[in-house]
Amino acid sequence: MNIIVGLGNPGAKYKYSRHNIGFQVVDKFALQVFGNNLKWKKKFQAHILQGKFQGQDLILIKPQTFMNLSGSSVRDIMAYFHIAPEQLLVIYDDFHLPLGKIRIRKRGSSGGHNGIESIINTLRTEAVSYTHLRAHETVLDLVCRLLLEKKKNTQRHQEKAYT
């Protein structure tokens, strides 16, 4: 099972702000993969959508705690579903990048981003996959590639364990 967290701030006031690109990416991905009949649940101070993607269980999350407090919501969901940090992908805006650029990291510091800092501090690990965005991208292609890479890496580790 994988979790994709889109960071943003709740409320109409923030809906189209650059900080809400994480919410926007998760929303667009959900529409492209699961169609128009989405049933987001409100649980763990977040909007949660569960489904299957490429044969794997997938949970999409939009924390409703405001970005700076996202870690508590993410932690509670991960504990409930028994998710390891390596199965977590966080999508958020990074103003340090030029407009139109994406950076993908498997781990690292928050780089001064308060939402990521909250997740790192709450989970007590930097072993989280981060996707930094500065503009709308081909969301489906990006997420497909990232999830396939995770699946391949997991399979390689399992193969090494058996040989």
> Which of the residues are catalytic?
19
**In angstroms, what is the C-alpha Rg of the chain?**
15
Structure-token pair, residue 162:
């058996």
- The CA dihedral of 38, 44, 50, 56, to the nearest 10 degrees, is 160
Tell me how far apart the alpha carbons of residues 26 and 4 are, in angstroms, rounded to a whole number: 8
DSSP three-state, residue 33: helix
| Region of 157 on the Ramachandran plot (φ > 0 left; ψ -120 to 50 alpha; else beta) | alpha
